[in-house]
Amino acid sequence: MEILAIANQKGGVGKTTTAVNLAACLAAKRKRVLLIDLDPQGNATTGTGLEKNALAYTMADILLDDVALKEAIVRSPAGFDVIGANRELAGMDITLMGQVNSHELLKTAIAAGDTLETYHYVIIDCAPSLNLLTVNAMVATDGVIIPMQCEYYALEGLADLSQTIDRLKELNERLHIRGVVRTLFDSRNTLANDVSNELDAHFGAIMYKTVIPRNVRLAEAPAHGMTILDYEKSSKGAQAYQRLANEVIAQTRQLASTANKP
């Protein structure tokens, strides 16, 4: 079982689109997947076809009311398991202010049972800020996948983000950047190409080879409560997320083989 958080403090960079469609593509490759929505916007929840305000339990019940993880797991219309979120998760920072262990509530919930051991991948969709929810994800996760748009401030943003992640290693020694995935990429845009090349030059070791193109089908799918595989499997967007899933699976194999070496 591997936990991967999809995070970037910047809004609208394709975190949720990546979380939902990576989860779908991993599930399509016969991996057992759990998607955890850790954003009060609940976009990952609705993106898998669930009605975010009709769930018996959500992440808010787990983090604020000690409901067990397994009580909140539902099978989504997308065909994999989800723990949903909605507005009830907002204001958690204020509710938990001053509570000593507020940054490790998710980690504690995961450790409280062996519920997650049945999954190959647990994917966490984070909110666009470094709030208490995102810190909880960073403390509980194995690695972080960073979706990134190739625009002027991308390099600076990535340098900042990797510094932040380094600092959070104090709370979680396993924490590392699993990979950076270029999203919303427009190959006709000269600046985007330049920035993409710069990212390869400076951060080559952590850049995924797969680049997710700007593809209108990816933007349309959530409006129908569908992943890209169910909405339009032949689209460029679906093909790209399938390649990304292959890269993630290959990384897992690589990590397992190095861990097993004496």
Structure tokens at 88: 């009830």
Q: Which is nearer to ligand ATP, 33 or 252 (CB)?
A: 33
Of positions 16, 136, 172, 196, contacts Mg ion by CB under 5 A? 16
Among 15, 103, 107, 214, binds Mg ion (CB under 5 A): 15
Contact flag: residue 86 with Mg ion (CB under 5 A): no
Asked if 19 and 123 touch (Cβ cutoff 8 Å), the reply is yes
Phi-psi sector, 26: left (phi>0), alpha (psi -120 to 50), beta: alpha
Q: By CB neighbour count within 10 A (0-12 exposed, 13-18 middle, 19+ buried), where does 84 fall?
A: buried
In terms of CB distance, is 73 or 184 closer to ligand ATP?
Answer: 184
145 binds ligand ATP (CB under 6 A): no
Q: Are 120 and 4 in contact (CB under 8 A)?
A: no
Two structure tokens written together for 193: 């190409």
Q: By C-beta, is 2 or 125 nearer to ligand ATP?
A: 125
Position among 3, 5, 16, 61 found at the interface with ligand ATP (CB under 6 A): 16
CB of 225 to ligand ATP, least distance (A): 13
- Select 143 or 222, whichever has its Cβ closest to ligand ATP: 222
One-letter amino acid at 24 equals A
Q: How far apart are CA 126 and CA 15, in angstroms?
A: 7
**How many Cα atoms within 13 Å fall on the side-chain side of residue 167?**
7
Q: What is residue 235's three-state secondary structure? A: coil
Among 35-43, 60-68, 101-109, 190-198, which window interacts with ligand ATP (CB under 6 A)?
A: 35-43
> Which entry of Mg ion, ligand ATP, none binds 81, CB below 5 to 8 A by partner kind?
none
- Residue 21 within binding range of ligand ATP, rule CB under 6 A: no
Q: Residue 126 in contact with residue 134, Cβ under 8 Å?
A: yes
Q: 13 is in the binding site of which of ligand ATP, Mg ion, none (Cβ under 5 to 8 A by kind)?
A: ligand ATP
Query: Sign of torsion, CA 225 231 233 238?
Result: negative
- By CB under 5 A, name the binding residues for Mg ion: 15-16, 43
User: Which residues of the shown chain bind ligand ATP in the complex (CB under 6 A)?
Assistant: 11-17, 39, 41, 43, 128, 183-184, 212, 214-215, 218-219, 222, 237
